[in-house]
Structure 1
Amino acid sequence: MLKTAFSFLLLLACMATAWAQTEVPTAKEPEVLFQGEVNHGFYLAPSLQLTRFHDKSGFMVGGRAAWLMNHKVAIGLAGYGLTTQTNIGEIEETNNAFLQVGYGGALLEYIPEPDKLFHLTFPLMVGLGGAAYTDNFSDNQNTGNYSYEVYDTDAFMVVEPGVQAELNLARFMRLGLTFSYRFTHGVSLPKTSDKDLSTAALTLTAKFGRF
């Protein structure tokens, strides 16, 4: 009996020793997009865009604001507003209506080789916009009547991918020329549809920030 108890205690001691010597597996590190220390930066970028509405050329002004990670990925906001008067002619409320357009949303930009003097970037904007028929504000200014009447409005979704050729002018400044295509969905005005707002655009952008 004593011999059996001693053997049992010896077996328990061996098992405890083996358990103590067993390495506890370390927790597996999760896979992440950015390994190691992340470098942060930012930029602000006023922009001038040449595009077309109703088969007429027009200018939009706007800009971008983005947070940079590891010099290569930018996440931010972008937006544009039409500055050129686009006459669409007669509608039910008036015989001289003008189209106004603005849109904006989230910006994602990938910059594969940011350190090269001349390089490409790939911006993508996804957001919402609005279109409206209004009276001629310039004519109202000439006559001294500063009323601004809106006849009809509509909202739409917009997706605008592009490719940008960018030049590093200084450590804090970059100049880019972007070719993009604007896809719109949901435009339903009497004389304006998605096909009238979905078109190519050429945008000149000056970036200022910490790259």
Structure 2
Amino acid sequence: MNNKLTKAIFMAATFFVALSVQAQEDQKIRTLFNNGGIRSNGGYGGVTVGYTQIENADAITVGGQGAWLINHQFGIGLAGTGFISERRFDATLDNRYLTTGGYGGLLLEFIAMPHSPIHLSFPLVVGAGGLTYVESRRDFDFYDSEDSQAFFVVEPGVDVEFNLLPFIRLGVGLKYRVTSDIELSYRDSGAAILDRDALTGFSTAFSLKFGKF
């Protein structure tokens, strides 16, 4: 758990260092409320599709987010992500199972040089979620759940964004997800189904944002 916390703290620190460096380079935005306070308001809604791994099993992610933008650079809002892993044969249960769930929470975002056609965004999501280990014999065909649980999550990241149109942005991102310990277990034996850090790891995603930037 210490290793996971160290990585999470490092990624979160990167987020705030990037904000500080940009603030020093741009004297017009040294702080959120300098030079006349909030000079512009905007907002956006967006969707994401991505890839991750859950204990070495391939998984797809689908999500959505929305945020209020202050001075083109600071965003605050909500974000959520759902995930589903590939099916694998479980010898203990003599059938094919997969892991599925989702998480979401508060979204904080800093956008460096937002008016540039290509720029960087540093999102940070802090929240909670849930997952379940469920029998699945065919695509989108779910049966009995062996176990499920809730978890806390922190997910910092970095996106490369492209201003396609004044109201549309395309992003390609890399994130690092850190969760509280996963403790799914088999009902009969009590043995662990997944490692405690099964959800901790990197993910990649494409995003489309629509709004007033």
Q: Distance in 1 between matches of 2:164 and 2:139?
A: 41
SS in 1 for 2:45: strand
Matches within 5 A, 1:45-194: 45-87=46-88, 89-91=90-92, 95-136=95-136, 138=138, 141=141, 148-189=143-184, 190-194=192-196
CA contact (8 A) 1:61 1:83 kept: no
Computed over aligned residues only, the root mean square deviation of the Cα atoms, in angstroms, reads 2.0
Shift of 1:178: 0.7
Q: Distance in 1 between matches of 2:158 and 2:172?
A: 9
Q: Which has the larger radius of gyration?
A: 1
CA contact (8 A) 1:81 1:102 kept: yes
Q: Distance in 2 between matches of 1:74 and 1:139?
A: 37
User: What runs of 5+ residues in structure 2 fail to find an aligned partner?
Assistant: 1-30, 185-191
The equivalent residue for 1:197 is 199
CA contact (8 A) 2:170 2:208 kept: yes
CA separation of 1:191/1:112 partners in 2, compared to 1, >3 Å: closer, same or farther? same
CA contact (8 A) 1:89 1:98 kept: no
Shift of 1:94: 5.8
CA contact (8 A) 2:132 2:149 kept: yes
Q: Distance in 2 between matches of 1:73 and 1:62?
A: 21
CA deviation map 1:86-139 (0-9, x unaligned): 436145x66433211211111100012100011111010111111111121636
Shift of 1:48: 0.4
Q: Distance in 2 between matches of 1:88 and 1:111?
A: 43
Q: Distance in 2 between matches of 1:113 and 1:139?
A: 43
Q: What is the total number of aligned residue pairs between the two structures?
A: 174
Percent pairwise identity: 39
